[in-house]
Chain A
């Protein structure tokens, strides 16, 4: 079983790295890019015997308490069987 956690900056929190990436993308010739936001992606491998609902609860807690800072970031948890 695998868990995927996506961490992104909350709307409104300045993302200077995203802005710099957007600028580079535009220099490459792409137009019509309204915004770029940079985030983080984590893969967590779980023992196959783990209960899916329990795994979701555990990974959600890990995402909330370690992987993200709730003051500036949101997270999204996906569990893959």
Chain B
């Protein structure tokens, strides 16, 4: 099993993701420069956080046109696993691989803090080692994490069990008070219809060691590694 981490100009969580896959998950991993288009040797891709293209125009808007993205779309269409974290989530939405969009936080500020998200479904390759309803303590760090979509899209996400993470209290209660950025329905992460593409605003790669305040993020990478090992 081999992981690939896509690096755009302005990506800045690429090394964190590399560290987690190589040291915590213990699997082979390589960086993929955004001009590369050959993804044949990879089993799973991570689009890391950061500020691709300086967030010019809209967060994730210009990364969508990088040469690697056509290959990412084909990779996803053929069932390959694609995990977008923070700016990676924004890029996946801009590229049309996930529905909806991420706009400016309700209160305008850049928010960087540990908070809690509830695992809403174990029916994804990223959460199949977890119990629905369990709570992960993971940091967010973004200014554009306010998830928006139209009513029809929200209904579809709910009906198809595609809301994977919601912002919640430490107890697991999902309330408006625990919504850090104004996201619709407290959405912190969603998957596509085939469930192989996941985007989330929180940074699980920053929560994989107790030394860093939480190791809850490891479960996401371990679920994915277990899925790949079983494939």
Contact = CB atoms under 8 A, between A and B. Distances in A.
A67 B57 contact: yes
Interface stretch (B74-82, B101-109, B213-221): B101-109
- Majority-rule SS of B interface residues: loop
Interface string B171-184: 00000000000100
Contact of B106 (A14, A66, A71): A14
A71 B99 CA distance: 9
B182 A14 contact: yes
Contacts of A15: 104
Interface in B123-150: 146, 148-150
A20 interface: yes
Contacts of B106: 14, 16
A13 interface: yes
Interface core residue of A14, A67, A71 (most chain B CB under 10 Å): A71
A72 B146 CA distance: 12
25 contacts: A13-B103, A14-B103, A14-B106, A14-B148, A14-B182, A15-B104, A16-B104, A16-B106, A16-B107, A16-B182, A17-B104, A17-B108, A66-B57, A66-B61, A66-B65, A67-B57, A69-B94, A69-B101, A71-B93, A71-B99, A71-B101, A71-B148, A71-B150, A72-B103, A72-B148
